[in-house]
Amino acid sequence: MTAELQPQFVLSAVLNEVGLKPNALAGSPVESELVIYADDAIEMGIWEVTPGTFRGSKEGVYEFMHFAQGAGTITDESGAVIHISPGLSVFVPDGWRGTWDVTETVRKTYVINRTAKEPSQ
């Protein structure tokens, strides 16, 4: 007998609105997310942002993302451009900095892995 793997979530899940995206350069992008799993090292979930332009960076983490919907571009500091489209997968290393220009609401699944431990208190 073979056990079937049951999905933990679907992309039609209702996301929790986080609010206006910090570092907005144009428009009023609003981000929403649903964290599916998180521990001291890893976070997995679904993230969405409405159209607008904003800065992004990765400090102390790296991220794998897979886009389910939307359109726009992500441009890193070197000028390399990634065109966002459904089905695209992207890896962003620790230390990455760039600009997102979202033209159609983007929804992605993501896995973030912490590369540095939080300072001890």
Task: Chunk the chain into consecutive blocks of 10 residues (it has 121) and report each block's average pLDDT, rounded to whole numbers.
Answer: 52 67 86 93 95 94 96 97 96 96 97 77 46
Write down the pLDDT at residue 121.
Answer: 46
pTM for the complete prediction?
0.80
- CA atoms of 85 and 54, how far apart (whole Å): 18
Residue 98 lies in a domain: yes
DSSP, res 58: -
Phi, psi for residue 93 in degrees, rounded to 5: -80, 165
Kindly state whether residue 74 falls inside one of the protein's structural domains: yes
CB 60 within 8 A of CB 114: yes
Structure tokens at 55: 């800065």
DSSP of 59-79, one letter per residue?
A: SSEEEEEEEEEEEEEEEETT-
Q: Which domain holds residue 65?
A: 38-114
Q: Rounded distance, CA 60 to CA 116, Å? A: 5
Number of domains within the chain:
1
> Quick one: pLDDT at residue 93?
96
CATH number at residue 102: 2.60.120.10
- Which residues, other chains included, contact 73 with Cβ-Cβ below 8 Å and sequence gap of 6+? 81, 82, 83, 84, 100, 101
At 50 the pLDDT is 95
What is the per-residue pLDDT for 97?
A: 96
